């Protein structure tokens, strides 16, 4: 057996322990609480993945044997985040991705943020989701997603400008589209919309 396979199997053993969420397991030395629901984890796994966890789990910020209350996200989204830390994958959906990429950013886990961006770039772009995805791309500096959105806007410029969704966007989005299309955009077409 090669070293990569051995390492993978060791990691999957840790993941299976995490997945079982047995509060009696001595492997767990940190507890996160969400409105009474608890997630058990191992500090070493978390500290090695995130500087934010390093600060959050330091003696200065936590009391020994007390759960850490998490209010910035849901139990399910945080569980998916920790599942990624333990296994290298998790369940992303169109419904949870905006919340989960926010978790990736907050905890500073670049590899997880990249994983989220990979998912986002595979979402089919429509007029109904393009501006929300552009907001996410800008907020979290997701350049691959932004490039995909730019291509969609350039290819569908007239439709985008005439859409009901465009009429409700912020000025910063209008400015962005003007700058994006400065060589392509005809001013009369833009102002006609």
Please tell me the distance from the alpha carbon of residue 182 to that of residue 102, in angstroms, as a whole number: 31
H-helix or E-strand containing 38?
Answer: strand 37-41
Q: Residues in the chain with pLDDT < 50?
A: 188
Please tell me the distance from the alpha carbon of residue 184 to that of residue 193, in angstroms, as a whole number: 15
Domains of the chain: 1-122 (3.30.710.10), 124-193 (1.25.40)
**What's residue 51's pLDDT?**
93
Contact assessment for residue 134 and residue 126, using Cβ atoms and an 8 Å cutoff: no
How many helices (DSSP H) and strands (DSSP E) are in the chain? 12, 3
Please tell me the distance from the alpha carbon of residue 141 to that of residue 9, in angstroms, as a whole number: 34
**What's residue 182's pLDDT?**
75
Looking at the DSSP bridge assignments, the partners of residue 40 are 31
**What's residue 148's pLDDT?**
96
Please tell me the distance from the alpha carbon of residue 64 to that of residue 55, in angstroms, as a whole number: 15
pLDDT digits (tens, 9 = 90+) for 136-150: 999 999 999 999 999
Sheet of strand 30-34: strand arrangement: 37-41, 30-34, 68-69
Please tell me the distance from the alpha carbon of residue 99 to that of residue 77, in angstroms, as a whole number: 7
**What's residue 57's pLDDT?**
86
End-to-end, the C-alpha distance of the chain in Å comes to: 63
**What's residue 190's pLDDT?**
56
Crossing angle for the helix pair 127-139 and 171-180, to the nearest 10 degrees: 90
DSSP one-letter string for 93-156 = -TTTHHHHHHHHHHHT-HHHHHHHHHHHHTSPP-HHHHHHHHHHHHHTT-HHHHHHHHHHHHHT
Burial (CB < 10 A; 0-12, 13-18, 19+), residue 68, is middle
Of residues 74, 70, 111, 79, the one with CA closest to residue 15: 79
Structure tokens at 102: 């926010």
């Amino acid at each position: 057996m090669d070293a990569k396979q051995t390492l993978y199997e060791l990691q999957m053993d840790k993941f299976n322990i995490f997945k079982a969420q047995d509060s009696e397991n001595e492997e767990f030395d940190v507890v996160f609480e969400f409105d009474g629901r608890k997630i058990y984890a191992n500090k070493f796994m978390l500290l090695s993945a995130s500087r934010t966890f390093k600060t959050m789990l330091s003696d200065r910020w936590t009391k020994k044997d007390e759960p850490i209350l998490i209010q910035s996200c849901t139990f399910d989204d945080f569980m998916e985040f920790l599942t990624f830390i333990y296994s290298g994958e998790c369940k992303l959906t169109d419904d949870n991705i905006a919340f989960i990429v926010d978790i990736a950013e907050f905890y500073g886990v670049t590899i997880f943020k990249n994983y989220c961006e990979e998912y986002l770039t595979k979402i089919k772009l429509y007029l109904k989701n393009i501006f929300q995805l552009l907001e996410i791309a800008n907020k979290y500096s997701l350049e691959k997603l932004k490039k995909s959105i730019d291509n969609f806007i350039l290819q569908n410029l007239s439709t985008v400008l005439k859409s009901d969704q465009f009429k409700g966007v912020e000025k910063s989005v209008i400015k962005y589209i003007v700058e994006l299309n400065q060589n392509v955009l005809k001013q009369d077409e833009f102002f006609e919309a």
